[in-house]
Amino acid sequence: GAVVSQHPSWVICKSGTSVKIECRSLDFQATTMFWYRQFPKQSLMLMATSNEGSKATYEQGVEKDKFLINHASLTLSTLTVTSAHPEDSSFYICSARDIRLAKNIQYFGAGTRLSVL
């Protein structure tokens, strides 16, 4: 399967600071990447769909000014949590869509655990 790298895997920050999370597709080009959030013992929640070269599409209820997404290249999307607060503490997971061979498969990064103090 394809490889998606997500960095950092764990970050602790003070309330009010911003945190940037990177998501890279290592062996394929991804025109579309997805950002999810998952709270303990809950299901994945799609936050936004990131398309290379265009603005991200945010799901209802997700603040686009708080969760900035940039997909500047075919292998890199970033999520910046601006002015983070304790309620933003969660497990953030990115994924990238691999359309090679018309299989249209979504591969996940390892996730980033964010703790806001």
Question: Which residues of this chain interact with other proteins, rule CB under 8 A?
Answer: 1, 6, 32, 34, 43-44, 46, 91, 93, 97, 103-111
Please say which residue, 78 or 109, places its beta carbon nearer to other proteins: 109
Please say which residue, 29 or 83, places its beta carbon nearer to other proteins: 29
- Distant-in-sequence, close-in-space partners of 52: CB < 8 Å, separation ≥ 6: 30, 31, 32, 71, 72, 73, 74, 77
39: which 2 tokens? 């709270």
Rounded to the nearest whole angstrom, what is the least distance from the CB of residue 38 to other proteins in the complex?
A: 9
Beta strand 90-98 with 76-81 is unpaired
Which of 88, 86, 74 has its CA nearest to residue 26? 74
Rounded Cα distance, 83 and 45, in Å: 21
Rounded to the nearest whole angstrom, what is the least distance from the CB of residue 105 to other proteins in the complex?
A: 6
Please say which residue, 67 or 92, places its beta carbon nearer to other proteins: 92
Residue 4: exposed, middle, or buried by beta-carbon count in 10 A (0-12, 13-18, 19+)? buried
Please say which residue, 14 or 103, places its beta carbon nearer to other proteins: 103
Rounded to the nearest whole angstrom, what is the least distance from the CB of residue 50 to other proteins in the complex?
A: 13
Rounded to the nearest whole angstrom, what is the least distance from the CB of residue 40 to other proteins in the complex?
A: 9
